[in-house]
């Protein structure tokens, strides 16, 4: 029973130590250690250099000369235990469970960055799980790491399998499924399958909205993202800006909506379609107007000669030569008795006209006093 209690107590201590936030601190001896949020020393100040904790591990260094030219790095856990020998000439913080380490790197100039040697990766137990054989590396990002062999860059996965061949002059980390690369004088992006997205020269480019910009190639239009990758092909006759994740597009004489992946959300079957307001969009087919929701369902039938967007819960509509107001279910709230009607403002009043007289009404149709 005592043994079980002691083990359980030690587990609680270990869990508490791993959960607390540790920060680097410099002692009076000029060395570095780590303290908790209450400035209580957890790891004594005995190292010549240190980095912040990442994924529960921290890099620390010992200098063997005055300027740190002959420094060596190792990794600590949150209890101060060294999980690797003090032997690495350079290293990166942990990222996605692995940390890059180097043996053989040297400074080319005083206080300069280290160059040379070979790079590989260790896991959180300190084991070298990817052999130190690369000339340069980046940290793992989205499951892949850029690595260099000779003068060319490629990418490997965590099993050290080459996923992107060694063919690029420069490479950056993956972000949102894409990585920037350069080949000769051309910079572009690749995906995790190695597909290359070469920028095109468009006839016209428009402003970005919600991360995408409309572009024109010949007589067709599509969209590019902020990395200038064409994410929606130039196949539409006209396109508009994205609003709330949807964009109006035209093909032939018909209009609809697409999302940011290019998926058609509202079929291109309407003679005109307006943007959404209060979750409903006006549509026109023939000479009649109605309203659809964001799934394309017709919520208010196409029976009006004119219609305005919903404002303050009501929309002005025209039947024959007269105007009135409906609610979001299509129910007539203010009868179509007016020769003109404007939308309701934030004060709850709308400008209307009967014959030559203009005046304001409230949402019940009574004259505003």
Distance from C-alpha of 36 to C-alpha of 199, rounded to nearest angstrom: 49
| pTM listed for this prediction | 0.63
Q: Please identify which residue in the block is written with the tokens 């949402």.
A: 363
Q: Tell me how crowded residue 113 is: count the other CB atoms within 10 A of its CB.
A: 9
**What are the phi and psi torsion angles at 29 (to 5°)?**
-85, 0
> Got the DSSP string for 187-217?
EEEEETT--EE-----SEEEEEETTEEEEEE
Task: Show contacts of 141-144: CB within 8 Å, 24+ apart.
Answer: 141/95, 141/96, 141/173, 141/174, 141/175, 142/174, 142/175, 142/177, 142/192, 143/96, 143/174, 143/192, 144/174, 144/179, 144/192
In sequence order, what are the beta bridge partners of 158?
A: none
pLDDT in tens, 316-359: 999 999 999 999 999 999 999 999 999 999 989 999 999 999 99
pLDDT at residue 228, as a whole number = 85
Q: Please, are residues 177 and 185 in contact by the beta-carbon 8 Å criterion?
A: no
* Domains of the chain, CATH where assigned: 18-140 (no CATH), 200-270 (2.40.10), 278-369 (2.20.25)
Among candidates 137, 136, 154, which has minimal Cα distance to 194? 154
Among candidates 182, 144, 150, which has minimal Cα distance to 164? 144
pLDDT at residue 7, as a whole number = 36
Residues of the chain falling short of pLDDT 70: 1-20, 66-68, 108-112
What number of helices (H) and strands (E) belong to the chain?
A: 1, 39
pLDDT in tens, 165-205: 999 999 999 988 888 899 998 888 899 999 998 888 899 88
Q: Please, are residues 105 and 114 in contact by the beta-carbon 8 Å criterion?
A: yes
Six-digit token string for 341: 């009607």
């Amino acid at each position: 029973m005592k043994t079980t209690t002691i083990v359980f107590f030690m587990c609680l201590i270990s869990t508490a130590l791993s959960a607390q936030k540790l920060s680097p601190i410099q002692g009076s001896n000029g060395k570095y250690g780590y303290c908790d949020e209450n400035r209580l020393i957890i790891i004594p100040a005995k190292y010549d250099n240190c980095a912040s904790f990442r994924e529960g591990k921290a890099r620390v260094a010992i200098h063997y000369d005055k300027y740190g030219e002959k420094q060596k790095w190792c990794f600590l856990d949150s209890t101060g235990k060294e999980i690797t020998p003090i032997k690495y000439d350079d290293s990166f913080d942990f990222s996605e469970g692995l940390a890059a380490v180097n043996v053989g790197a040297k400074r080319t100039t005083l206080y300069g960055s280290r160059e040379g040697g070979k790079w590989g990766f260790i896991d959180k137990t300190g084991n070298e799980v990817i052999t130190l054989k690369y000339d340069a590396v980046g940290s793992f990002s989205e499951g892949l790491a850029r690595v260099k062999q000779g003068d060319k860059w490629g990418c490997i996965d965590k099993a050290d399998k080459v996923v992107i061949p060694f063919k690029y002059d420069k490479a950056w980390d993956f972000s949102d499924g894409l990585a920037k690369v350069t080949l000769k004088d051309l910079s572009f992006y690749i995906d995790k399958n190695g597909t290359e997205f070469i920028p095109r020269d468009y006839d016209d480019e428009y402003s970005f909205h919600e991360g995408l910009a409309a572009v024109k190639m010949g007589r067709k239009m599509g969209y590019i993202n902020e990395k200038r990758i064409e994410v929606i092909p130039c196949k539409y006759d006209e396109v508009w800006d994205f609003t709330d994740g949807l964009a109006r597009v035209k093909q032939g004489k018909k209009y609809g909506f697409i999302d940011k992946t290019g998926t058609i959300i509202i079929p291109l079957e309407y003679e005109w379609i307006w943007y959404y307001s209060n979750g409903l969009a006006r549509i026109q087919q023939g000479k009649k107007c109605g309203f659809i929701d964001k799934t394309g369902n017709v919520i208010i039938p196409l029976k009006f000669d004119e219609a305005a967007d919903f404002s303050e819960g009501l929309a002005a509509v025209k039947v024959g030569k007269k105007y009135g107001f409906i609610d979001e279910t299509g129910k007539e709230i203010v009868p179509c008795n007016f020769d003109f009607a404007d939308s309701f403002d934030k004060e709850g009043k709308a400008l209307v006209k009967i014959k030559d007289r203009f005046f304001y009404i409230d949402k019940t149709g009574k004259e505003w006093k």
